[in-house]
Amino acid sequence: MSTRAFLAFLAVCAVVGLLGFGLLSKGEAKVGVGDPVPDRTLPVLGGQGEGSIADYRGRWVLVNLWASWCGPCRTEAPELDEFAQRHRDRLTVLGINVQDNSDDALAFLREFDVAYPQLRSVGSERSEAFGATGVPENFLVDPRGRVALVIPGPVNREYLDAAVVPLIEGKG
Amino acid sequence: MSRRGAFLRLWVSKAPRSVVLLGALLALCATPALAAPQTSITDLEDEVMCPVCGTLLELAESPQAQRQRALIRRLIAEGREKQEIKDALVSQYGDEVLALPGDSGFDLTAYLVPAIAFVVAVLALALGVRRWRGAGGDPPPPGADPPKGEDAERLDADLARYDL
C-alpha cells in the first residue's frame, strides 16, 4: 500500500471513528425489568448533602423522574405522596428532579406539600441513564437494587394499587 | 496633576458641601452599572439551548423553555452579567444548555476538526496547483508538432500551389 493510500485510509478511519463516538455518546440505554438500577450519588434537592437509590437498599424504592414544568407530574405528585404514606413500612418513593431549575422544583414541592425524599439531577443526565424519553417516568426498584417495573408515564392510585402493591407485598 | 484632577479639586473647593456629597453619591451609584453592562433575554436566547426541545431557546415555546426564560429574566433583573447567567444555567441544566461547544475535552474537536480540514484542503490545493504548473500547463493538442520529412515537403508544395 502506497503512503498516499495509507494516509487516505487513516483519514477515513478518523472520520468514521469520530462519527461513531458521537453516536455512541448520545445513545440512550433503556433500562429493563431485572436490570441493576442505574444509580449514582446526587445532590439533595434544596438541601444539604447527597443521596442515591442505594441508600434505600433492603427496601422497595419507587423512583419518580419529574420536572416542575411537566403537566402530568402535577397530577401524579399528590397521588405518589399519598401512596408513599400508605406504604411507608416497606416502600420509599424517591423523586429525582430532572431538566429543571431548583427554585421552580422547590416551589412545586411546596405547592403539593410533597414529603417524600428528593434528589436533583443536573440536566438530563439521569433521564438518559434510565433511558427515559420524557417526564414523568417511574421505576420500581426491588430491595436488591434491581428494576422490577418500568412505568413510562404518570401513575395514579388505581395503577399503583394494581401494579405496584402486589409486587411489594410479594404477590406479583 | 492632570487637567481633570485640577478641575475636580477646584470644583470640590468651590462647590457647596451638599452638592459635593450629592455628586459623590451619584458617582457611587453609577459605578456598578458601568462595570457590569446589562444583558438582555434576546442577547442570550440565541446562545443557549432549550435542552428538552433540542433547539435554540429563541426557537422554543415549550413549558420548559418558558421556565428557562423566566429564570433568565430573574437573573437579569438581579443584575447578573451574561457569563454569570450562562454559568447559572449550566449549574441547573448541565453543559447541554450551551449552544456552542465547550473549549476543552472532546468538545474541542468541534473547533479543531474544521480548522484542520481547512488547512489540509489549502495544502492539497497548493500542492495540486504546484504540480500542475510544474507539468507545463495543458498538454499540447494532438498533431500540434510541425510536420517533418515527407509531410513537410508535401505541406510546402500545397502551400506553393495555392500561393499563400
Cβ B110 vs Cβ B101: under 8 Å: yes
pLDDT (tens digit per residue) in A105-147: 999 999 999 999 999 998 778 888 898 888 999 999 999 999 9
Cβ-based contacts of A68 with chain B (< 8 Å): 67
| A148 burial level (CB within 10 Å; 0-12, 13-18, 19+) | buried
Position with higher pLDDT, B138 vs A76:
A76
Cell readout for A34 is 431485572
Cβ-based contacts of A125 with chain B (< 8 Å): 94
Alpha-carbon gap, residue B43 to B50, rounded angstroms: 15
Question: Average pLDDT, stretch B132-152?
Answer: 75
- In sequence order, the 6+-apart residues with CB closer than 8 A to the CB of A139 are A31, A37, A62, A63, A65, A130, A147, A149, A150, A151
With a cut of 0.85, is the ipTM above it? Answer: no
Torsion sign, CA atoms A46, A50, A52, A56:
negative
Minimum mean pLDDT among A6-20, A78-92, B139-153: which range? Answer: B139-153
Cβ-based contacts of A40 with chain B (< 8 Å): none
For A30-114, where are the E strands, in sequence order? Answer: 42-43, 50-51, 60-66, 91-97
pLDDT for the residue A36: 96
Model-wide pTM > 0.90: no
Cβ A52 vs Cβ A92: under 8 Å: no
pLDDT (tens digit per residue) in B70-79: 999 999 999 9
Task: Please name which of A151, A104, A131, A126 lies closest in space to residue A52, comparing C-alpha atoms.
Answer: A126
Q: Considering only CB atoms, which residues of chain B are within 8 Å of chain A?
A: 51-52, 62-64, 66-68, 71, 91-97, 106, 109, 113
State the DSSP code for A51.
Answer: E
Q: Which residue of B has its CA nearest to A45?
A: B92
pLDDT for the residue B30: 52
Domain ranges of chain B: 3-35, 41-100, 103-131
State the DSSP code for A155.
Answer: -
Are A70 and B71 within 8 A, CB to CB? no
Q: Which residue of A has its CA nearest to B65?
A: A69
Task: Please name which of A69, A95, A70, A64 lies closest in space to residue A160, comparing C-alpha atoms.
Answer: A64
pLDDT for the residue B1: 46
Cis peptide before A152 (omega within 30 of 0): no
Interface residue of A7, A69, A104 to substitute, partner B, most B CBs within 10 Å: A69
Alpha-carbon gap, residue A169 to B73, rounded angstroms: 49
